[in-house]
Copies of this chain bind each other. A is one copy, B any other.
Amino acid sequence: MPVVHIYMFEGRTDDQKSAMAQGVTKAISEAAGIPDSATTIVIHDTKRSDWAQGGVMASDS
């Protein structure tokens, strides 16, 4: 506890993902008083052709 699912466009490097996981974990622990070790993060790379805003695919905008 907690479990965090992050959905974002593919293309981030492993180093960026690692830095993101560290930062998000720390932000949760500081704000909510939860030990770092308790936080699970799952990153879901998503293609622009699978993501729409306002009915328009991100690959078309």
Contacts and interface: CB of A to CB of B under 8 A. Distances in A.
**A interface, how many residues as a size bin?**
35 or more
Contacts of A19: 30-31
A36 to B, nearest CB: 5
Interface string A43-54: 111100111111
Contacts of A9: 1-2
Contacts of A21: 52, 55-57
A23 to B, nearest CB: 3
Given A41-B52, A46-B42, A53-B37, A60 B18 contact: yes
Interface of A: 1-9, 12, 14, 16-28, 30-34, 36-46, 49-60
